[in-house]
Amino acid sequence: MSKNNTVFIGKNKNFWDRNRRSEGYLLQREIKRKCISVARALLMFGLCFMIIQPILIRFSTGFMVESDLYDSTIVLVPRHLTLENYKIVFDLTNFPTSMINTLWISLLVSLLQVVSCTFVAYGFARYQFPLKKFWFACVVLLIIVPPTTIQTSLYMSFANFDILGIFKAINGKPINLRTSLIPYAMMSLTCMGLKNGLYIYMLRQYFKNVPDSLEEAAFVDGCSTLRTFTQIMLPDAMPTIASCFLFSFVWQWTDLFYSRNFLSSYSVYSVELSSIVSRMSRYFSADVSKAVIVPNGRQQQLIAIGVLICCIPLIILYCFTQKLFVQSLAMTGSKE
């Protein structure tokens, strides 16, 4: 008998001997471990299938002709392939103009939000100032209270924008900023934009758990407060900052509330997609002055294609940034 077989039999014999001496506990533990591994694998497969399956359905229906939608024998694989549906969706959503506008607006707003929230979070974590707990309670309210509750106030403030009556004294009336990007940029810089309270809370938790000795050592070496913040605190906080940037970008990419209120002069993809059904009847009509009734199945098919197009850039973005995202989740709130 070869040496390898002898070792293999010896290991098996050793296992069963130890199992017998443990009165079957070793075998029970091994069976339990295997069962847990199988259950974990099935659970992960189910969760992944729940996420991927709707994407696969949308991807498949996007290549079907209209007759395939009502064919009960077709489940996932189309019988007649076509790219005409994507052309229709591109026309209905003003693609690529809406996608380019969405991209640069999302990048700009996300950058402004991350910069302002990082400074505010660092101040909450490291400095003492009057009414600190009150102001942080206001930050928590930004997370809890939905933005629709202040929709009327936002509308009136930016539709009749004035600072201490200066604009009214010069022009005779306030100025209307609602059709420009200025109001949204101002809100992002003042930490009143979309989900800014969450970003402040995440960054504050990170900065609060960084040891004070790092800053004290930097001060001893002659670093100023700003230099300590930029050269000591920021480099280690990059995973958390990147995570906040991703959250901001994704929410801004699919936002409707702020886009409809402040970006009405821009063609934004989320707004174009939300009103795609109202434009279908005119698009498929031979006479522009008359509307036709588009079947519900056809409507759902084009909406599914539009949603898929909206998700593809976000999936690509996550594929390149998943390492930083996972690292930030592991770091936030875990340091002592």
Q: Given a cut of 70, is residue 250 above it in pLDDT?
A: yes
Q: Given a cut of 60, is residue 219 above it in pLDDT?
A: yes
Q: Given a cut of 70, is residue 278 above it in pLDDT?
A: yes
**Of the listed ranges 92-96, 157-161, 310-314, the one predicted with least confidence:** 157-161
Q: Which pLDDT band holds residue 332 (cuts at 50, 70, 90)?
A: low
Q: Given a cut of 60, is residue 334 above it in pLDDT?
A: no
Average pLDDT over residues 7-12: 45
116-134 pLDDT, tens per residue? 999 999 999 988 889 999 9
In this prediction the pTM is: 0.80
Return the HEC string of the chain.
CCHHHHHHHHHHHHHHHHHHHCCCHHHHHHHHHHHHHHHHHHHHHHHHHHHHHHHHHHHHHCCECHHHHCCCCCCCCCCCECCHHHHHHHHHCCCCHHHHHHHHHHHHHHHHHHHHHHHHHHHHHHCCCCCHHHHHHHHHHHHHCCHHHHHHHHHHHHHCECCCCHHHHHHCCCECCCCCCHHHHHHHHCCCCCCHHHHHHHHHHHHHCCCHHHHHHHHHCCCCHHHHHHHHHHHHHHHHHHHHHHHHHHHHHCCCHHHHHHCCCCCCHHHHHHCHHHHHHHHCCCCCCCCCCCCHHHHHHHHHHHHHHHHHHHHHHHHHHHHHHHHHHHHCCCCC
167-204 pLDDT, tens per residue? 788 887 888 888 788 888 888 898 888 889 999 998 99
- Quick one: pLDDT at residue 13? 61
26-55 pLDDT, tens per residue? 888 889 999 999 999 999 888 888 888 888
